[in-house]
Amino acid sequence: MRNAPDQPLRLLRTLIPKRYQPWLRGIHRGLAAIGMQLEEPFRTAFPYTQVHPNRLRALAQHARTVCGTGVAGDVVECGVLDGGAAAIMAAFTRECRKRIHLFDAWEGLPQRSTEDGPLADPWVGDVVGSPRRVLRIMRLLAIDEDRLVFHKGWFRDTFPVADISAIALMHIDCDFYEPTRAALARWAPLVAPGGIVQFDDYEDFVGCRRAVDEFLAEHSAIRLERLGAPGTAYFIRFPGPR
Ligand SMILES: C[S@@+](CC[C@H](N)C(=O)[O-])C[C@H]1O[C@@H](n2cnc3c(N)ncnc32)[C@H](O)[C@@H]1O
């Protein structure tokens, strides 16, 4: 397994001020979407997310499941960037009007830890998203803004003070070991029976994989499930009645 994915256009990225990153990424992804067979709302969301379309479809399926089976609690995303994946979860929980909690510092990735390995270095301080673009994709998908709760800041500051009593669906997409471990430690105890947590980086970032594997080793009743390929979605389902 690779340590961390290669960073595209690494040299060029150092020349571009970070505040322009979200808009350039949007143009790049928008052009890429032209040649792809994407159905709505995935086509509209694609320029606003780095998540593989099959993983977005898996998130949509989980959202339908938790809505349709009445799993209690809110939707949470740890690592939002430009909001495309969060908007998909919001769109597919529209009928049950789940609240959507958006956790991100919007300042790029934090320092790595030893568990992430040296190939994670080029990513530190990079991957800067935009809360304005998050609002834009939410509007494009006609998501009621009353459902959105922005938790802007580093997880170490926002997690302790966030007011969430139960979670039906969570997407953990923060690349590195420490934030993934922190998200599981803080929020897994609040996931309702039948609730689902999907990990975007299990395949690509060794630190994320380590954090998830440690969690699974500590919770023998929970197993990792996989869905689809390419862009396999990795997720866990919390036991209990649905
Ligand atoms: C890969 S991006 C998220 C992609 C997004 N889910 C999408 O749909 O494209 C990772 C995000 O995690 C955030 N992040 C990582 N560690 C964090 C931490 N400790 N506190 C706050 N945000 C963090 C970064 O700011 C970045 O926006």
By C-alpha distance, which of 74, 40, 32 is closest to 60? 40
Per-residue pLDDT, averaged over 200-204, amounts to 97
Is pLDDT of 17 > 90? Answer: no
Q: In whole angstroms, what is the distance from residue 133 CA to residue 47 CA? A: 10
- In this predicted model, which residue has the larger pLDDT, 7 or 228? 228
Taking the centre of ligand 1 as the mean of its atom positions, its distance from the CA of residue 159, in whole angstroms, is 14
241 — pLDDT class (breaks 50, 70, 90): low
Task: Specify the residue with its C-alpha closest to ligand 1, atom 27.
Answer: 81
Q: What is the pLDDT of residues 117-170, one digit of tens each?
A: 999 998 999 999 999 999 999 999 999 999 999 999 999 999 999 999 999 999
**Longest Cα pair distance anywhere in the chain, in angstroms?**
53
Q: Which two tokens stand for residue 57?
A: 């479809």
Q: Given this model, what pLDDT does residue 2 score? A: 54
How do residues 27-83 score in pLDDT, each as one tens digit? 999 999 998 999 999 999 999 999 999 999 999 999 999 999 999 999 999 999 999
Mean pLDDT score across all residues of the chain: 95
Sheet (strand 167-172) strand order: 148-152, 100-104, 74-78, 167-172, 191-199, 233-237, 224-227
**Pick from 136, 174, 134, 169: which is nearest to 154 by CA?**
174
Secondary structure, 3-state, the chain: CCCCCCCCCHHHHHHCCHHHHHHHHHHHHHHHHHCCCCCCCHHHHHHHCCCCHHHHHHHHHHHHHHHHCCCCCEEEEECCCCCHHHHHHHHCCCCCCCCEEEEECCCCECCCCHHHCHHHHHHECCCCCCHHHHHHHHHHCCCCHHHEEEEECCHHHHHHHCCCCCEEEEEECCCCHHHHHHHHHHHHHHEEEEEEEEECCCCCCHHHHHHHHHHHHHCCCCCEEEECCCCCEEEEECCCCC
Is the distance from CB of 53 to CB of 146 less than 8 angstroms?
Answer: no
Q: Does the reported pTM lie above 0.75?
A: yes
Q: Is 105 near ligand 1, meaning CB less than 6 Å away?
A: yes
Cβ(50) to ligand 1 under 6 A? yes
pLDDT at 1: 47
In a mutational test of the pocket of ligand 1, which residue from 52, 89, 104 has the highest number of ligand atoms less than 8 Å from its CB?
A: 104
For residue range 125-137, what is the model confidence (pLDDT) as tens digits?
999 999 999 999 9
pLDDT(242) > 90: no
Residue 105 CA, distance from chain mean position: 13
Domains defined for the chain, CATH in brackets = 10-237 (3.40.50.150)
Closest residue by Cα to atom 22, ligand 1, is: 104
Closest ligand 1 atom to 201 CA: 1
